[in-house]
Structure 1
Amino acid sequence: MSKKEPVMHENASHPWEFQQRLLPDSYGRDSRLAARDVKAAVAEIKKVARKEARLGAEGALLFLEVVSPAIASVNGSSGAIGSTTEKAVKTLVAIFADAPLETEVREAWLERIWVAYLKDTVPYIESLADYWGELCKSKALASTWADRLLEESRDAWGPDPATYRFFRGTKVCLSALEHAERYEDILDLLGRAPFSMWYFSQHGVRALAALGRVDEALRFAEEHQGSTGDPVDIARTCEEVLLNAGRVDEAYERFGLEAHTAHTNLAWFKAVVKTYPHKSQAEVLADLVALTPGREGSWFAAACSAGFYDEALQLARQSPCAPQTLTRAARDMEAKRPEFAREAGMAALHVLVEGAYYSVTGEDVKAAYTHTMNAAEHLGEAESTRERIRELVAGESTDDRFITRVLGRTLGLR
């Protein structure tokens, strides 16, 4: 098969590879392949933007024009392609916003992005509305866009709630108003809304805060978060309001922990510590543990990262911790802190024997045993430790006695 010649957009000045892949309905239902190509496109644009910011902005524009038609038929039930595309939009918005574009060029390119946004019916690039002010870059251009959309946004929301209609430009208008620092217009527009929805009302919170009405902003957040607001996003916004107002202790007490919820507890802990450096790591850890009762063991890695090894073991004994996490700690510390490493390994074996975790392999079991024994040898207590393990495994009561089958011969068990 001969190699295809690059397809050039009518306004493009660069042979973008992603344009060969992101073609209308080119993926069928295959979300995995679509997500792969979206990520590759972003990587390509970022690479170009590092050397030529203006050309990178052009690539961002072209991507936003082609991505939705390309993945329109993809199976999005898992949420993976939606999440991937949303991350792509956030990255490319920054590239476009930061590029040194002449006002006329930015205006013309924004018109094209607006058309792509309106055609995005699935939708995949709807999050562009969150960043419209950033895309405008200047307050003057943002104000122009706000004026363009404000009348229809007002009309869509009133004055009779019974005549409410959805207008895709309302969120864009709010973003533009915020960037233009037209805070009273934001509050006026939100005052017409026939419902409370955080998607819109967060702009009101930030507008009130910018006007110096901090306590009113927090009340507004509480009263207008709606039933679908993300508690973490709400906490982050309120935390930012208080931090900007210099009310740091209040920010920590009211919102600081929930605002930094992350995919892992270790990342969560580090984010809180970074935001509140005046708080001791011990205090932050204790507060996070108290916030998540019944999940004490999940803070084991965070405690280790802070050097609280005794506390880490106590947490692991209070509730299950992933055996792989415990085993890694045993492996990493078997020579440096052998006593801690041995007890971490014993905790891993205890969790395994209890059958508290799924998707455990024989290699996981062997690794826990090996690193526990390695630490014990550093302590000169190999025989007593092996006997502790033998007694532990002998008491296994799960139906399949998986741990016994893996370690039985090593331990002299039948």
Structure 2
Amino acid sequence: MTSTVTAPVTYGSERLAALITAIGDGALERERSGERPFSAIDLIRRERLGALRVPRADGGGGASLRELFATVITLATADVNVAHILRGHFSHVEERLRLDEEQRRRVTALALSGAIVGNASTELGSTPAGAFTWKTQLSPDGNGFRLNGTKFFTTGTLYADYAEVIASDPDGATVIALVPTDRAGVTVLDDWDGMGQRATGTGTATFSDVAVSADEILQFAPADADTEPPALYLSGAFFQLYVTALEAGVLQALRADAVAHVHQRPRSFAWAPTPAAADDPLLQLEIGEIAAAAFAAEATVLAAADALAAAFDADVRGDDPDLKLAHEASLQAAAAKVVVDALAQKAASQIFDVGGASVVRQTHLLDRHWRNIRTLASHNPTSYKAQAIGAYHVLGTKLPGSGYF
């Protein structure tokens, strides 16, 4: 990971804009050919985008949480696969920056090096999604440990330098092992077969007798915890809002593609009110609704990001003992998902009304937007979020203290 670039990109800079443009330039062809965006991730390493949230005093990009989410939206507009690949990394950095000085020092050094962290938490099987149990085990081995288990939905790990692996230790406590992806016993498969987010590497990772040193273990939860700790409102809200930000980015891309397609149309319908498609008020209406959805989605995500920032700051200061701000952040992240899921899925269908039958040709690949949005919206059913929000407002029932909220 040697590089001539040492300083991370900063929010609003020309370097950041150039990076996102370079990633976007190859996005459509990658989708068409099935090429994986390894080169795009190498650009991100070189430009130290993963250190965007590290404070400037520590050598990082110094972005606010709102600016981070704005950057995610812009990157998702250029290539939503690449933006999604970084979800585990930005979550890892955010979580460690809120902890003690040693954790902050370690995550700062990692991010400034250009290294990328991937996600390896979810396990397939009979255990309900979101249950606080793990088949993946961390066992003592001399002065260190051995890690064994299989994970799925490991978004980004295919491209990452490290995997953040959630496991159970011999006492039943949940821990995180941060292990290099090139270590013996680590296998990451490109076997994600989803209809959308095809290049995110959201497939299987196996850990077979992987050596883990003591300093690679990060405490996660006490062994006697019956449920996930309420503090997970913060990490859960970040992880969930990130997905909604990806949808907001796709909506921006939808708007641009709809406008471009109208101007490219050589003809309109015989019964259309105007000869030129761009002058057709009905097509303008469709594009206007897509544009309005893109605006509303971005504004909603950024408003929820502000609530999350307030909760993070309060957590660092230790002045939110009742987790009121943390719960509010979770509530707003859930509400953002409910609203943006609906707007995005409608807009992803509307683009096909802008162009008629010719718009469904693989030449345009406009179906990628619907596939990506539908896949992103399926990250935890919207109905559960809406019901939980309703129960809170009607009965005062708090949202689950879960990584899924």
TM-score, scaled relative to structure 1:
0.28
Structure with more relative contact order (C-alpha pairs < 8 Å, separation 6 or more): 2
Higher helix share: 1
Larger radius of gyration: 1
TM-score, scaled relative to structure 2:
0.29
